[in-house]
Structures are given as structure tokens and as C-alpha cells.
Amino acid sequence: MSAGAMDFLPFTRPLIDEATIAGVVEVLRSGWITTGPEARRFEDALAARCDGRAVRVFNSGTAALEIGLQIAGVGPGDEVITTPLSWVGTANVVLARGARPVFVDIDPVTRNIDPAAIEAALTDATRVLMPVHLAGLPADLDAIYGMSARRGLRVLEDAAQAFGSRWHGRPIGSFGDLVAFSFHANKNLTTSEGGALVLPDPALAPLTEKLRLQGVVRSGEDGMEVDVLGGKSNITDIAARIGLGQLPQLDGFTARRRALAARYFEEWPDAPGCELPPRDPGGNSNWHMFQVVLPERIERAAFMRGMKEAGIGIGVHYPAMHLFSLYRALGYREGMFPHAERIGRRIVTLPLFPAMHDADVSRVCASARCVLESLS
């Protein structure tokens, strides 16, 4: 079969089973479709996976991050240290709080934030350390939490891509300070759109609930009070029901992703200059993405066009965000974070999702070999 006749293989595709679809239909028929009993059930189920810690859910991972910053007391004049190699929402939420995102470079092997660079960037204005677990591989949490303890800083883990990942055998979210997850359509567990925040203290749950729904507290039959400025970021019961259907399948999803990643390592063409992700022998990653860094001689856009012509979707996750105009206006410029800039220019995301077959990986690798050879 020619490439043109083959089905298009996207870089990701959610897997929603029929039982979950039927459950969503039941919610729609129930008459209660906004935040309600399904959202509470979803929070309880998430808490069970996070070693009993308090969890509150939202309509996006971005909302979880922003409310995490509010809980940490971040405001004008504060600094939040993070990585430039992430979805731009990581830093946008800092600006939304009136604070300054302080970018530092990455470790070129793990592609996660470099703890040594964090140490060098600390100032009296630093309030929060915000590591990102890129592609599901956890950042060095031992170093980061050690630093936070020594300096009296809060940690807000951007674990948007790390639900189901582990650190030294412990699930991400089951320990630490504030941990924000995303359940966007491309995540390992999806609610179509959604997110969650794991709290270090259950006493913070009432404040979190107020912040996600206009600061409102109800009492009695008709009592209502507002004593804090909240927003509108509550999840629907429709989305929560999707998440409840996904949760029992998560371990199977992760196992399949790990098997597919192992096959990529076996079959990826031996192309000089291509950099594969670290193999993760400790089994910490949930393999949210399998990302390759192309050699300098290969134009990324041309590689992506060639793969698209072969019926294969390729993603870019992510350009180094400090080079966006919004952040250049804050004084960031090219050359400040060379590792993040180089990888941000060359990185591509290959197809990886549980419904893929082993033959799909073989097809991706064979097509990549042809495209790389044609562009060399």
C-alpha cells in the first residue's frame, strides 16, 4: 500500500472506550451536567492515586497552575523560576499574577530544568520554583525540594504531562508541595479539557474551591458570601465522567506507551546527529511523548512536510518561549539559554498513543529514515 493510501497516523489520539461514552450519556440524561457528583467522585479517585492527598479539579491544567500560584501567595514583585522549554502557559500564568517568570536553562540530556541553573538564579524576590516534567520525565525533584527547603521557597510542579509518572517509585502527586496536572485531549489521561491541583494540606481545599468559582461560599438555604477574588475554572460533570472512565485504564495505557517507546529505541534509524530522549531505566516516565532532536543540517519544517506526505503527523513541543515577543519585551533575548534554544529549534514529537500498533512504530521509523536521507 502506498503512503498516500494509508491512514494518516497523528502524533496522538485519545482512547475513549464505549463504557465511558455510555457513562457520559448517562450524565447528559441526568440533567446535572456542570460541577456536581461526578466531579466529586473524580476528585476522590484522583486523591486515592495521590496517596490520599487532597485534590481539586478544574477546567484546565492552566487554571490549576494559576490557582496554585495564588495559594502560594505569588503577586506583583515576586519571581517564579521555571524553564523556557515548555508550553507557554507555564509562564503566562506567572504574568497573570503580576509576577515575573525567571527562566533558566535546561539539562541537555533530560531536557528538564537544570537545578544548578536554578541555584544561580535565586534572589530575594524568588517566591516559587516551578519545574516542568517535560514529556512525562520528572525533573530532579530531590535537588529542587532540597533547594526549596534550604531557602524557604514554595514548589509548584507543572506536572501537566506527568500523570502516571514516578519519582524513585513514588507517583508524581503523592508527595511534595503543590502539583498541577492537565487532562487535555492529548494527555495520557484525558477529560477532553481539564486539570487538577494536588494540595499539600487538606485545609487549603476550601480556599481552592472558592478560587475556582468566583470566591463564593454558600450557607443555609439562601446565604452567600464572597471574601476572596475568585475566577471561573470549575470542571463539568461531563468532563469528570470521562476522567473516571479513563482512570482504571491508566496503568494499561502507561504500559503500552513504555512498550512503544522501547520499540522506537530499537528501530529509530541510526542517523548521525539525531538525539533520542533518555531511556529512563528507572521507569519514572509515563512516556507522554517520544521526542527526537534533529541534527542542525536538517530543516525541521522540511522533515515535518516529508513525514506528512508519508501520512504521519509530527508535533513541535516546544519552541523556547523566552524568544516569543511577549517575553522578549521583558528583556529576554537569543543566546541566554543555549541548550533550550538549540533543542527548541530542532525538537520533534513522534506519534505515541496506546492504540498504536508495533507496526505503526516501524512505519514511522522507516519513513523517518527515508525523509532524513532525502534531506541530508
Here the cell at position 210 is: 472558592
Judge if 358 and 295 occupy the same domain.
yes
Q: Is residue 12 part of a domain?
A: no
In a domain, 203, yes or no: yes
364 and 215 within one domain: no
Do 323 and 193 share a structural domain? no
pLDDT of residue 3: 47
| 187: containing domain | 18-248
* 210 part of the active site: no
Q: Which helix (H) or strand (E) holds 350?
A: strand 347-350
| Among the listed residues 67, 137, 99, 80, the one whose alpha carbon sits nearest the alpha carbon of residue 278 | 137
For residues 321 and 221, membership in a common domain is answered with no
- Helix axes 37-49 and 237-246, enclosed angle (nearest 10): 30
Query: Is residue 10 situated within a structural domain?
Result: no
* Domain boundary, last residue among 248, 275, 302: 248
Retrieve residue 148's grid coordinates: 526549596
The residue type found at 278 is P
Same domain, 206 and 304: no
Question: Does residue 91 sit in the same domain as residue 229?
Answer: yes
* Domain membership flag for residue 225: yes
Q: Into how many domains does the chain fold?
A: 2
Output the nine-digit C-alpha cell for 66: 494559576
User: Is residue 13 in some structural domain?
Assistant: no
Residue that terminates a domain, selected from 248, 272, 293: 248
Pair 256, 354: CB distance under 8 Å = yes
Residues 237 and 322 in one domain: no
Q: What is the CATH number of the domain that holds 86?
A: 3.40.640.10
Cβ neighbours of residue 105 closer than 8 Å, sequence gap 6 or more: 84, 114, 117, 336, 337, 338, 339, 340
Helix and strand element counts for the chain (H, E): 13, 13
Task: Examine the domain organization and report whether 224 and 185 are in the same domain.
Answer: yes
Mean pLDDT, consecutive 10-residue segments, the chain of 376 residues? 68 97 98 97 98 98 98 98 98 98 98 98 98 98 98 98 97 98 98 98 98 97 96 98 98 98 97 94 96 97 98 98 98 98 98 98 98 95
Residues 91, 78: one domain?
yes
- The answer to whether residues 12 and 186 touch, using CB atoms and an 8 Å cutoff, is yes
Q: 3-state class of 243 per DSSP?
A: helix
Residue 9 falls inside a structural domain: no
Q: Is the peptide bond before 318 cis (omega within 30 degrees of 0)?
A: yes
Domain annotation covers residue 118: yes
Return the CATH number at 287. 3.90.1150.10
CA distance 127 to 157: 14
> Which one is catalytic: 187, 210, 232, 308?
187
Same domain for 348 and 232: no
How is 145-214 classified by DSSP, letter by letter? HHHHHHHT-EEEEE-TT-TT-EETTEETTSSSSEEEEE--TTSSS--SS-EEEE-S-GGGHHHHHHHHBT
**Residue at 360 is within a domain:** yes
pLDDT for the residue 1: 39
Same domain flag for 235 and 264 = no
Asked if residue 350 and residue 264 are part of one domain, the reply reads yes
Asked which of 248, 266, 289 is the last residue of a domain, the reply is 248
